[in-house]
Amino acid sequence: MSWIKGLLFGIVGFVIGSGLMLLVGQRRASEPMVTVGYIFFLVAWLLGVGVWDHWARGWFGLENKPTPTFKSHGVARYFAFSTDHKVIGVQYLVTFVALLLLAGALAMVIRLQLLQPTGILDPQTYNTVMSMHGIIMIAVAVAAVIGSLGNYFVPLLIGAEDMAFPRLNALSYWLVPPVAILLVVGSLLPGGFTSGWRVYPPLAERGGISMLLFLIAFLTFGLSSIIGGLNFIVTIIRMRAPGMTWGRLPIFVWSIFCASLLSLIFTQFVATALLMELLDRVVGMAFFAPDQGGGAILYQHIFWFYSHPAVYVMIIPGFGLLMEIVAHFSRKPLFGYKYAVGALLGIVGLSGIVWAHHMFTSGMQDFLTAPFMLSTELISIPTGLVFLVTLGTIWQGKLRLTTPMLFALGFLFNFTIGGLTGIFNADAPTDLQLHNTYWIVGHFHYTIMGGEIFAFLAGIYYWFPKITGRLYSERLGKLHFGIMFVAFNLLYAPMMIAGLYGMNRHVATYPPELNGINMFISIAGFVLGSSFLVFIYNMATALRRGAVAAANPWQLRTLEWQTSSPPPEHNFSYAVRVNGHPYDYGVDDSTHVAPATGAPMPAAAPAAE
Amino acid sequence: MQHGTAALLRQGVMVFVGLAILTALEFWVAASHSATALWFLALIALAKVVVIGTYFMHAGQVFRGEEGERE
Amino acid sequence: MTVAATTLKYQIVNRRLGLWLFMVSESMIFLALLASRFYMQGTNRPAEVNQTLGLIITSILLLSSFTANRAEVAIAHGDRSSFLRLLLTTIGLGLVFLAGVVTIEWPEALHFAPPSTGYGTAFFALTGMHAFHVLTGVFILALAFLKGRRGGYTVDDHWGAEASIVYWHFVDVIWVFVYPTLYLVGS
């Protein structure tokens, strides 16, 4: 088993690395010892999980061992260094749903704390819980949709048999477990996390050894994100089936392409910012020490130069899922396909010039305020186009209100509120008042949780029959949506109101007069959390005894539905040839996939219209 | 040696000489302490990158897929 | 499309694109570090910076790029012995460059610009990050050398050699920016 072998190798690696540092005279548990030990741990872990067996042997002239397949390993391939994009997609999906639930449980602890101004935790523990919730949710938001649904469905949607670099794909997944291990270990060490997920210096540079672990965990996660992005770009450029032109690419694939461009280019900046903090800590450099010639807000500049595009890495795949699902379940061609693509590319183009709107109160030069205000508000134009496309698609469509469609419509509602409240953050005069309050927390959760996580759930419900070959209970799915949607709005709208009254974020307590509204928020939060129990129950029972899903249960046009559920090892039993647009529902004589020559396509039931 | 090899090797020498000249120029510009030195240095660096990228790294091949079209 | 239908040439173009995307991504690290140097210190530069050494190691790296290019031409035309000889020269020059930075330049710089100062921070971070890339470049070139010695490269399939050499040029490209930024700008 890869996990056990990886851990054993990793521990031996850590002992060797940290032992070396002890030999050159570093103290026990000193920062250089832990850092070098971790580097050795990471390399050994990767070699142990399968990089050596299936990849690195070739570098040294040895024969690589074959990677695990269904034939050779059965279910155990999900715990091994599989290079099948579908296996990796499921690995990502399970890992990140588990992380989502873990960070969600931490959110419950936060709300438990804020039931009363006095709370139940000491401020130090609260900071750790809050930072853990932040960083894990950021990781989930960055990688959940791309890593799981992207990995599973991009090759299927473009008619490829796998990603361009299958081994690199596996590598990007196997970099994730060390991140989780580091974060869990770091949060349990005395001292805990102090600084929130943004790890601003000087706080992050002065915290204990657990802050060091936090930094290298974040750095490792960045590496995984970059590798994944690179792989998607090459796959989408080079692996499309014959006839799958750029103009026929399903919009979800476009969204993954755009998000991958962003993570390829910008993730390096957060990696560098974290590396600078590490250098400051471990070797005593002066990047963020203004008294020694460093820059006081340099970190914020570099950090937000990544972290603003990062929210587009999170939300663009959400937009893609939204438009994909809305087009299919409105049974209409996607309205303004070219504008939708242009909008996504426009967001990519603008995302690199808006970062300083996070810094209006940081003390940066005044002349930067106006240009960043303007560029930030420019982004509402492509975002508005996405909404126009979605609404135009819904307009006069034959709507099928399935569970995924409901989640997509929920996304539309939530993100509208998230987008409109964002205007007040983009405008410097109002932002000076709103910054660092729960208004920001509410706004951010409306966009990312109400947007991307709703889209993620929509995607899971949409593709669950394809991935597992089973049908879930529509009734329970709708129940999940109903509870979650109502509780979500009752949770985050009052949060913004509390922010308007001046309730500060990142603090373990609040003024007693805000007790009533906080109690309301907490109860809504617990209801929201409990809706996930319905989700888990639904998925678990469907997996065990759900009805068997047909190849194409909803009679949809895109390629992933034109193969069995779940798809065979190399995805298609016939040679894929694309000859039309994916969303031309109701258009005469239009097909997306050309009738196959040779092996027959799986029979699709006649459309129920 | 084939004709193509000789031409490619000669091209390599030319590029190397060109880069050496640019480096010398860079050093000379910096030593002159003029106010515009920074911009000249940036220009020279960009020129060097274009030369290395074109001739040494074959940037033009990246999107040239036709030789490798799948059947 | 099946594995068999994907020709080797097609895969090599995929890998070439992947390598270039990787290099674009890596250059962002250096972009951030270079920008930080100007953000923190403007064009301020201590007078003690060793200009002679800077010029020498720059020339060594340039020379290694030249030999790397010749090695690539050699293997692309099936001349294995020249390829191995030139690749070994490249690796040697790379190691000389590393030695110049780590054993001569760094101890000197520790005196006039320790890492706890603004310029020292930029200097050690940039040269250190670059030296790390040189080290990985040398490692990859060495792997290519070993594979070449086993006869692993042909005229049609020498992707490993090509990739390691393109990466080596990339290391040189980074130095093209690092060198003027640390040694030449300002006064």
CATH for A164: 1.20.210.10
**What is the model's pLDDT at position A341?**
97
Q: Any idea of the CA torsion for C111, C112, C117, C120, to the nearest 10 degrees? A: -90
Domain count, chain A: 2
**In-domain check, residue C3:** no
Q: State mean pLDDT over A546-558.
A: 92
- Residue A602, pLDDT above cutoff 60: no
Residue A287's closest chain C neighbor by CA? C121
Is residue A319's pLDDT more than 90?
yes
- Asked if residue A208 belongs to a domain, the reply is yes
Reply yes or no on whether the pLDDT at A607 is more than 50: no
Chain segment B22-32, per-residue pLDDT in tens:
999 999 998 88
pLDDT of residue C59: 96
Q: Is residue C86 part of a domain?
A: yes
Q: Do residues A46 and A114 both lie within one domain?
A: no
pLDDT band at residue A278 using 50, 70 and 90 as cut-offs: very high
pLDDT in tens, A433-456: 999 999 999 999 999 999 999 999
Residue A11 CA to residue A44 CA, distance in Å, equals: 8
Mean predicted lDDT score pLDDT of chain A: 93
Residue B31 lies in a domain: yes
Write out chain C residues lying below 8 Å of B13, CB-based: 66
- Is cis: bond before A404, omega within 30 of 0? no
> pLDDT confidence of A391, banded at 50, 70, 90?
very high
Contacts of A226 in chain C (CB under 8 A): 25
A541 within 8 A of A473, measured Cβ to Cβ: yes
Q: Are A416 and A409 in contact (CB under 8 A)?
A: no
Same domain, A37 and A87: no
pLDDT interval class at C6 (50, 70, 90): low
CA-nearest residue of chain B to C178? B45
User: A575 lies in a domain?
Assistant: no
Rounded to 5°, the CA angle A311-A314-A317 comes to 135
What own/partner pairs with CB < 8 Å and gap ≥ 24 does A136-140 have?
Answer: A136/A99, A136/A102, A136/A103, A136/A106, A136/A183, A137/A100, A137/A103, A138/A197, A138/A310, A139/A96, A139/A99, A139/A176, A139/A179, A139/A221, A140/A96, A140/A99, A140/A100, A140/A103, A140/A453
Per the CB < 8 A criterion, the answer to whether A428 and A385 are in contact is no
End-to-end, the C-alpha distance of chain A in Å comes to: 49
Q: Give CA–CA dist A89/A92, Å, rounded.
A: 5
CB–CB contact A234 C17 (8 Å): yes
C29's CB contacts (< 8 A; 6+ apart) are: A268, A271, A272, A275, C129
Question: In this structure, is residue C1 part of a structural domain?
Answer: no
Chain B residue with CA closest to C184: the answer is: B30
The DSSP symbol for B54 reads: I
Choose one of A534, A560, A586: the last residue of a domain: A560
| Pair (A43, A118) in one structural domain | no
Cβ contact, residue pair B70, C7, below 8 Å: yes
Tokens 């040494």: give the residue. B56
Task: Find, in chain B, the residue whose alpha carbon is nearest to that of C170.
Answer: B57
- Helix locations, C42-117, DSSP H: 51-76, 80-99, 106-112
The pLDDT value given to residue A117 = 93
Partner-chain contact B8 C5, CB within 8 Å: no
Residues in A closer than 8 angstroms to C125, CB to CB, are: 276, 279, 285, 287
Q: What confidence tier does C9 reach under pLDDT thresholds 50, 70, 90?
A: confident
Is residue A130 included in any domain, yes or no?
yes
Is residue A53 assigned to a domain?
yes
Q: Taking residues C3-11, what's their average pLDDT?
A: 68
The encoded tokens of residue A283 equal: 């070797």
Q: What pLDDT sits at residue B68?
A: 44
For residue A586, tell me if it sits in a domain.
no
Q: Which subunits count as partners of chain C given 3+ CB pairs below 8 Å?
A: A, B
Indicate the pLDDT class of residue C2, thresholds 50, 70 and 90: very low
Distance separating alpha carbons of residues C109 and C125, to the nearest angstrom: 12
Task: Name the burial class of residue A151, with classes exposed (0-12), middle (13-18) and buried (19+) by CB atoms within 10 angstroms of its CB.
Answer: buried
Measure Cα distances from C162 to A112, A551, B10, C69, C174 in Å: 59, 44, 19, 9, 19
Amino acid identity for residue C103 in this structure: T
Asked whether residue B64 carries a pLDDT value surpassing 60, the answer given is yes
pLDDT digits (tens, 9 = 90+) for C64-118: 999 999 999 999 999 999 999 999 999 999 999 999 999 999 999 999 999 999 9
The percent of residues above 70 in pLDDT, for chain B, comes to: 86
Average pLDDT estimate for A18-34: 92
Could you give the 3-state DSSP secondary structure of residue A569?
Answer: coil
Alpha helices in A331-447 (DSSP H): 337-351, 369-378, 380-394, 403-426, 428-434, 438-447
Domain identity same for A28 and A110: no
Is the Cβ–Cβ distance between A252 and A344 less than 8 Å?
Answer: no
Contacts of A266 in chain C (CB under 8 A): 28
- Do A81 and A60 share a structural domain? no
Longest dimension (CA), chain C: 62
Residue A576 lies in a domain: no
Q: From the CA of A234, how many Å to the nearest CA of chain C? A: 6
Is pLDDT at C4 greater than 50 in this prediction? no
Using pLDDT thresholds of 50, 70 and 90, give the confidence band for residue A569: confident
The answer as to whether B68 is a domain residue is no
Confidence of residue A382 (pLDDT cuts 50, 70, 90): very high
Count up the domains in chain B and report the number. 1
| Count of domains forming chain C | 1
Residue C172 pLDDT exceeds 70: yes
Residue type, A570: H
Residue A18's pLDDT band, with cuts at 50, 70 and 90, is very high
- Express each pLDDT in A392-402 by its tens digit: 999 999 999 99
- B20 lies in which domain range? 3-61
A488 phi and psi angles, rounded to 5 deg = -60, -50
pLDDT of res. B33 = 77
d(CA B8, CA C83): 14
User: Residue A207 has what pLDDT?
Assistant: 83
Residues in chain C whose Cβ is within 8 Å of chain B? 1, 5-7, 9-13, 16-17, 20, 43, 51, 55, 58-59, 62-63, 65-66, 68-70, 73-74, 77, 79, 166, 169-170, 172-173, 176-177, 179-180, 183-187
Using DSSP, state whether C47 is helix, strand or coil: coil
Which among A478, A486, A494, A400 is positioned nearest to A450, based on CA atoms? A486
Quick one: how far is CA A54 from the chain centroid? 28
- Nearest CA of chain C to the CA of B61: how many Å? 8
Let me know: does C46 contact C113? Beta carbons within 8 Å.
yes
For residue C162, the model assigns a pLDDT of 94
Residues A22 and A92 in one domain: no
Q: Which chains touch B (3 or more CB pairs under 8 A)?
A: C
Chain B residues with at least one Cβ partner in C under 8 Å: 1-2, 4-5, 8-9, 12-13, 15-16, 19-20, 23, 26-27, 29-30, 33, 37-38, 41-42, 44-45, 48-49, 52-53, 55-59, 61-65, 67-71
CA distance linking residue A327 with residue A345, whole number of Å:
20
pLDDT band of B3, cuts 50, 70, 90: low
pLDDT tens digit sequence for A443-497:
999 999 999 999 999 999 999 999 999 999 999 999 999 999 999 999 999 999 9
pLDDT tier at A597 (50, 70, 90 boundaries)? low
The DSSP secondary structure of A243-276, one letter per residue, reads T--GGGS-HHHHHHHHHHHHHHHHHHHHHHHHHH
For residue A2, the model assigns a pLDDT of 87
Answer yes or no: do C176 and B61 touch at CB < 8 A.
no
Say if B51 falls within a structural domain.
yes
Q: Is residue B66 part of a domain?
A: no
Residue C39 at interface with chain A, using a CB cutoff of 8 Å: yes
For residue B15, which residues of chain C lie inside 8 Å, CB to CB?
66, 69
CA C90/CA C66 separation, integer angstroms: 8
- Could you list the residue range(s) of the whole structural domain that residue C83 is in? 8-42+50-184
User: Distance between alpha carbon A210 and the CA centroid of its chain, in Å?
Assistant: 24
Domain match, A253 and A315 both: yes
Q: Is the peptide bond prior to A68 cis by the omega test (within 30 degrees of 0)?
A: no
Mean per-residue pLDDT for A52-81? 88
CB pairs under 8 A between B and C: 104
A599 has pLDDT over 50:
no
Let me know: does A407 contact A464? Beta carbons within 8 Å. Answer: no
User: Which chains share 3+ C-beta pairs under 8 angstroms with A?
Assistant: C
- B71 domain residue, yes or no: no
Measured CA to CA, the distance from residue A355 to residue A302 in angstroms comes to: 9
- The arithmetic mean of pLDDT across residues A374-386, rounded, is 95
pLDDT at C17: 94
Residue C54 counted as domain residue:
yes
3-class secondary-structure state, position C49: coil
Domain encompassing residue A49:
1-66
pLDDT for A103 beyond 50: yes
Are A492 and A410 in the same domain?
yes
Asked if residue A30 and residue A137 are part of one domain, the reply reads no
In a domain, B49, yes or no: yes
Mean pLDDT computed over every residue of chain B:
84
**Is A568 inside a domain boundary?**
no
The alpha carbon of residue A295 is apart from the nearest alpha carbon of chain C, in Å, by 5
Nearest CA in chain B to C38: B38
- What is the Cα–Cα distance from A140 to A218, expressed in whole angstroms? 12
Quick one: A479 and A525 in the same domain?
Answer: yes
Nearest-neighbour CA in chain C from B47: distance (Å): 10
Question: Residue B65: its pLDDT value, please?
Answer: 58
Flag whether C60 is in a domain. Answer: yes
Residue bearing the bigger pLDDT, A71 or A19: A19
Residues of B in contact with C43 (CB under 8 A): 38
CA distance C123 to A139: 32
Amino acid at position C125, single letter: A
- In a domain, residue A370? The reply is yes
A590 or A15: which leads in pLDDT: A15
Q: How far is C18 from chain A (nearest CA, A)?
A: 6
DSSP string spanning A85-134?
Answer: HHHHHHHHHHHHHHHHHHHHHHHHHHHHHTTSSS-SS-HHHHHHHHHHHH
Comparing CB atoms, the residue among C13, C33, C124 nearest residue A272 is C33
Segment 133-152 of chain C within 8 Å of chain A by CB: 143, 146-147, 150, 152
- How high is the pLDDT of residue B1? 44
Identify whether C174 is part of a domain.
yes
